Structure 1
Amino acid sequence: MSKSRSNRRKNRKKRFWRMTVSLFLLLLLGGGSYFAYNVFYHAKIAGENIYKEIDRDKVKNHRTEEVKITKDAFNILLLGIEEQGGGERSDVVMLVTVSPQTGEVSMLSIPRDTRTMIPAAGFKTKITESYSYGGVESTIETVNQLLDVPIDYYITTNFEGFEDIVDTLGGVQVNVPFTFKAQLTGSLKWKTFYEGQMDLNGNEALAYVRMRKTDPAGDKGRNERQKEVIKAIIDKGTSFSSITKIDDLLGDLGENVKTNIPPSQFASFVKLYAKLKSSEIQTLALRGTDGKYNGISYFFPEDESIEEISTILNNTLNNTTTNNLTGNQSSDSSTTEQASTGVEY
């Protein structure tokens, strides 16, 4: 074979591989561009569906200046909304405080039966009832008054949305603290949750976080399970394996979630979460007692505990401390004792 023919054959092979690689890169970039456009499109639609600003005239203690997500400390109020008897209640009330500068993240679950003043109603009752007296603004104002802290953002979801999100993610894994039975919504069947690790679907996860009557720790145990599942959802939702499910996740959010976080800030939240993902969460808890008033069961928080938590949260928001924990709080678990006294208050 002549040398020139051999060179021509080698050149053809080189051109073939260059064309193959170029075509592959074109397809890859084209597919990536489509994926990026698809995500952007669905995120835009979902953002428009879920975004709902609060009525500032109904919330007195609300910061008017813009919060810079990656720099300023802020509060997010998480509400699980339950529809019952034609009305709505905030079955889950959880306050998350984040300080990007110090890396501190705290989580406070307020027992649903906490007896406190509901400004929109004009009298004291269970904090779970606050939502029925004026929606999210009423609950925000109630938490404002209870803890004396501003609420910058809120996120609400109904139970259907919670189930859909967990199912779209392929379920969540939890560490059941003790064996118990709980009734599932919809089918009303009873599910046994065995002590140890379990994989739960959306319907099961909802029953897992709602059960409290047979928990030895009462609302304290329920709050711990709520925190565990929420963290599992966030961890799984932001994992690489969930990228292919982004359309479905955004659809679930758009249909069942409301928030005043501007869509333009979503990327900042994801960036901040990636930065603080390994941070230890400080679990805060209200100390108090269970009792009755006019024949109705309530959780009565101690004034001293309310003031203590208010100080901790405001210190975090002002970036004035590097360790907010006191002897009555823990970064590992809540230390609140809720004694069932049965005493009339």
Structure 2
Amino acid sequence: MSLADSPIRHPDTASRPLMTRRGWWLVGMNILIPGSAQVLAGDRRLGRFGLGATLVLWVVLVAAIVTWFAAPTVIYTIASNSVALWVVALGLVFYGVLWLVLTLDTLRLVRLVRTQPSARVPIAALTVLVLVVASGGAAYGAYLATTASGFLSSVFAAGPSEPPVDGRYNILLLGADTGPDREGTRPDSMTVASIDAETGQAVLIGLPRNLEDIHFPSDSPMAAAYPNGYGTEQGCLVDVCLLNSIYTEVEQVTPELYPDAAARNSTPGIEAMRDAASGVTGLTIQYFVLIDMQGFEALIDALGGVEITVEERLPIGGDENLQNVDGWVEAGTQRMNGYTALWYARSRYSATDYDRMQRQRVLQEAILRQFTPANVLTKFQAVAEAGAETVRTDIPQSMLGYFVDLAGKTRQLPIQSVELTPETGIEPAYPDWDAVHALIQDAIATATAEPTPAESAAG
């Protein structure tokens, strides 16, 4: 039987059973192979266009799946590029409109009035469901892509990438203490994450905020201002001369020391802290990430909370005598919302600053391990809204795909932690910088020597 004699294209419209079976076939073909219903029963030109577009989409999806398993960095890079996201959004709009046209045309070709009365509602309902899922899903995907593009452009820099130094990327993580009861901004949490550029093996170096006698790299503007260490001879330009005071001093008093900070998507205070962290650790700091601790609460909530094992009961609020406490972070394993996680990291009166540093490191590791790309994607709208007001960084968009892939490797490996505290032999008021640098290099060497999961499995 030729296509011209096919009951699909030229049916006996007087036979309701035939028209009903034909209707189900057309709707099914429109779902499985958009465009095929038109080729068999309608406008063949429209059908061929739909089939061609469907074939192109299948090829792209297969290529994406293969690339995801073979070279995931490529997918991450595309997903973190503003231009690529707009291309994806336009493609989704195109397919959303195409599926709308093809589905409505398929419903016309079905000729519902000629089908059995009992089948009309199910056929129409399935067609509408397909329309909502396909075109609605494409529209929502386009919306997410454009939202992601705007978020990435507002948070991440558009500069060139930096190469690793000695095979590692060193990133300064700052938690900005900007609560309503604070005057100005002052980093409350300072960590250097040193990450192997190949394996993802990470070492987290906790910097106490009360470190003194900070030395800066020789090419730093702060080294010219304080050649023998921060505040060691004639004091400094703020009330105390501690590590976290450097941000306040440069940001509010001497911002002219770093005239190019804005061009780097940074601020003078952050650049001074970068130089300070480099002097403290002996490492070259390629990038920074600044997180507003108040906005951090919203970011944790957007991601659905974080699971933490609390070692001891901690007060929320209150004073050194544990008076006027607003509540408690109870001991034990729990999934914390943003408010609880923030107080877990900041609670101070029942423990020392060094205990608080350790809790902050626990929280950082938990976030790294639990917040996967899939988790972020499923909650992306809320994450983007919280993150745009919470995060500042000079990591360029061109490096995002690489770092997302590297973070995936990091999650599979043990994370080394180094705290520059009296427990590790470092006295913050009188630090021995040679000992500090040796401690950090030993931790990096130990981490580098540890086998990766693949090597362990092979052994």
**TM-score scaled by structure 1?**
0.73
Q: CA offsets per residue over residues 151-201 of structure 1, 9 Å max, x none?
A: 0110001122111101212322211101232318xxx85221221123322
Aligned pair 1:79/2:90, yes or no? no
Aligned pair 1:205/2:370, yes or no? no
Unaligned runs of 5+ in 2: 1-11, 35-102, 104-128, 217-221, 232-240, 251-268, 319-323, 452-459
- Map of 2:294 onto structure 1: 160
Aligned pair 1:305/2:435, yes or no? yes
Q: CA RMSD in A?
A: 3.6
- Please tell me whether the aligned partners of residues 149 and 313 of structure 1 are also in contact (alpha carbons under 8 angstroms): no
User: Which of structures 1 and 2 has the larger relative contact order (alpha carbons within 8 angstroms, sep 6+)?
Assistant: 1
Unaligned runs of 5+ in 1: 55-63, 291-296, 325-345
- Map of 2:381 onto structure 1: 247
- Map of 1:268 onto structure 2: 402
Pick one of 297, 305, 326 that aligns with 1:190: 326
- Please tell me whether the aligned partners of residues 286 and 302 of structure 1 are also in contact (alpha carbons under 8 angstroms): no
Bigger CA radius of gyration: 2
Pick one of 150, 163, 170 that aligns with 1:45: 150
Q: CA offsets per residue over residues 17-71 of structure 1, 9 Å max, x none?
A: 22344457776554554344333322222223223589xxxxxxxxx973279x9
1:126 partner letter:
L
- The CA distance in 1 between the partners of 2:421 and 2:355, in whole Å, is 14
- Please tell me whether the aligned partners of residues 51 and 260 of structure 1 are also in contact (alpha carbons under 8 angstroms): yes
- Please tell me whether the aligned partners of residues 155 and 258 of structure 1 are also in contact (alpha carbons under 8 angstroms): yes
Q: CA offsets per residue over residues 269-318 of structure 1, 9 Å max, x none?
A: 2222223321110111224379xxxxxx96544445312134247769xx
- Please tell me whether the aligned partners of residues 289 and 299 of structure 1 are also in contact (alpha carbons under 8 angstroms): no
The sequence identity of aligned pairs, in percent, is 22
Q: Greater helix share, 1 or 2? A: 2
- The CA distance in 2 between the partners of 1:191 and 1:272, in whole Å, is 38
- Map of 2:457 onto structure 1: none
Counterparts in 2 of 1:198 and 1:315: CA distance versus 1, 3 Å? closer
Counterparts in 2 of 1:29 and 1:130: CA distance versus 1, 3 Å? farther
Matched residue pairs, number? 298
Pick one of 357, 373, 376 that aligns with 1:223: 357
Q: Determine helix, strand or coil for the equivalent of 2:309.
A: strand
1:153 partner letter:
Y
Aligned pair 1:66/2:162, yes or no? yes
- Please tell me whether the aligned partners of residues 164 and 197 of structure 2 are also in contact (alpha carbons under 8 angstroms): no
- The CA distance in 1 between the partners of 2:206 and 2:409, in whole Å, is 23
Q: How does 1:1-345 map to 2 (within 5 A)?
A: 10-21=21-32, 22=34, 28=133, 30-51=135-156, 66-67=162-163, 73-83=168-178, 86-117=183-214, 120=222, 122=226, 123-124=230-231, 125-134=241-250, 135-183=269-317, 190-215=326-351, 218-238=352-372, 240-288=374-422, 299-312=429-442, 321-323=448-450
Q: Greater strand share, 1 or 2? A: 1
Counterparts in 2 of 1:82 and 1:27: CA distance versus 1, 3 Å? same
